[in-house]
Structure 1
Amino acid sequence: MTLKLKAQIRDLLGKKVRAVRQDGKIPAVVYGHGMPNKNLELVYHDFDKVFKEGGESTIIDLAIDGQPTAKVIISDVQADPVSGRYHHVDFHQIKMDEKIHATVELKFVGEAKAVKEFDGVLVHNISELEIKCLPADLVGEIEVDVSQLDTFDEVVTISDLNISKDIEIIGHEPADVVAIVARPREEEKEEVAAEQPAAEATAAAGGEKAEEERESETK
């Protein structure tokens, strides 16, 4: 999937960038592959639409001031921690015949039997993956099917994910657990309570045996 976005060259720099935001636009920069960095400004609504649709792992045809489009991906988005409004965007220009690194979010789909019937709690151990691939093989998200989690002993691992052989996973092993269903807390408490009498009985038996041994040594 390739999205389209327009941008304009930005002349305002430093503290003057505030005026760009007040005008309903987002300061941005594009860099990469021997081209000089270009300071840009984006129409807020246009970028918001593209970002929500494609995220950071989708190729964008970026048209700057009507020039021929450049193939880019979003490498960084800065947002206000309170309002959530975008403050700045970094684009990385790419070549279609060179592999790139990207971060892809995991989308959890399906319903786990261990959650539905046994009141378990679905735990996401991994929420995103760093991948390496050619731009044409980029995906916007990777689905994780949790419907296979019928019991508390089953897990979804990296090797269970439906990922193209042309995509390399960075920083994780095939056996790394992506999702698991944890037991309900009440059930965990019951198991602990059930284990305590047995542990106390074992400790008591051990104490009695030690006492008998001490008495036999003193005779």
Structure 2
Amino acid sequence: MGISLQAKKRDNFSRATTKQIRREGFIPAVVYGKEKEPQTVSVENIELLKTVRDEGRNAIISLDIENGNSVDVMLHEYQTDPVKGEVIHVDFYVVDMSEEMDVAVTLRLDGDAVGVKDGGILQQPLYELQVRAKPREIPEEIAVDISELAIGDSISVADIPVSDKYELIDDAETTIAVVLPPESETESEEDVDFSAEPELVGAEDEEE
């Protein structure tokens, strides 16, 4: 089930009015979608942040606009103040509940890899998966069990079990997690280029 969020219509776009909206605890926003006329609104800052924290970024929100219209939306994009880090503007996308859409879903690694217990180093190159699904069937997150990973082993997108509710659209060969061999005494994770051959890295060090 989606959750509700109140929105006020916004017709004055002057800088002074926008600042006043933010001072009053609201965030300027735009509501748009396929074949939908964009609407400018504002939503309460605390309520929006609470909704995203509790329900996740891909939650279906029933946005109740003050003229009586209610639309199902998802949080599409947001802008933050580069100094304060506060959210200063959001974009809501009107969703068609019967139509598939592409979204980013958080990837969670479960378990303790046996390779890490043996001294290996776990790396996670990918933190989100691109998913295609109908809005109601978008998973909150996707968990991948890494407990059987030994040193030198890796898991790619192709290793994730197929779901009948959503489709993964990342490249199947994209690495999700890998357990690397332990570092040597003279190397650190910061200065090693894992894409280069160890012999070449060593040779460069000797020349320097």
Q: Same fold (TM over 0.5)?
A: yes
Which contiguous aligned blocks of 4+ residues in structure 1 show a shift greater than 3 angstroms?
Answer: none
Report the Cα distance in structure 2 between the residues aligned to 1:29 and 1:163, rounded to whole angstroms.
35
Per-residue CA deviations over 1:126-180 (Å, capped at 9, x if unaligned) read 111222111121112111222121x11221221332452332222312x322101
Report the Cα distance in structure 1 between the residues aligned to 2:186 and 2:147, rounded to whole angstroms.
23
- Taking structure 1 as reference, are residues 82 and 110 closer, same or farther at Cα in structure 2, changes over 3 Å only? farther
Per-residue CA deviations over 1:10-40 (Å, capped at 9, x if unaligned) read 2331423122111111111101133321111
Letter in 2 for 1:144: V
Report the Cα distance in structure 2 between the residues aligned to 1:148 and 1:68, rounded to whole angstroms.
51
Report the Cα distance in structure 2 between the residues aligned to 1:110 and 1:13, rounded to whole angstroms.
50
CA contact (8 A) 2:61 2:72 kept: yes
In the alignment, does 2:169 pair up with 1:170?
yes
| Paired-residue identity, % | 30
Letter in 1 for 2:79: Q
1:205 counterpart residue number? none
SS in 1 for 2:50: helix
Query: Unpaired segments of 5 or more residues in structure 1?
Result: 190-194, 197-219
Larger Rg: 1
Per-residue CA deviations over 1:35-73 (Å, capped at 9, x if unaligned) read 321111111110001111233322111111162531111
CA contact (8 A) 2:130 2:169 kept: yes
1:216 counterpart residue number? none
May I ask how many residue pairs the two structures share in their alignment? 188
Report the Cα distance in structure 2 between the residues aligned to 1:96 and 1:29, rounded to whole angstroms.
20
Letter in 2 for 1:111: D
CA contact (8 A) 1:132 1:167 kept: yes
- Taking structure 1 as reference, are residues 130 and 14 closer, same or farther at Cα in structure 2, changes over 3 Å only? farther
2:90 counterpart residue number? 89
SS in 1 for 2:79: strand
TM-score, structure 1 normalization: 0.77
Per-residue CA deviations over 1:57-108 (Å, capped at 9, x if unaligned) read 2211111116253111111011123332111110000111111111112122
Report the Cα distance in structure 2 between the residues aligned to 1:163 and 1:87, rounded to whole angstroms.
38
- Taking structure 1 as reference, are residues 4 and 161 closer, same or farther at Cα in structure 2, changes over 3 Å only? farther
- Taking structure 1 as reference, are residues 14 and 31 closer, same or farther at Cα in structure 2, changes over 3 Å only? same
CA contact (8 A) 1:56 1:102 kept: no
Report the Cα distance in structure 1 between the residues aligned to 2:73 and 2:95, rounded to whole angstroms.
6
- Taking structure 1 as reference, are residues 171 and 162 closer, same or farther at Cα in structure 2, changes over 3 Å only? closer
Q: Which has the higher helix share?
A: 1
Query: Unpaired segments of 5 or more residues in structure 2?
Result: 188-197, 200-208
In the alignment, does 2:19 pair up with 1:13?
no
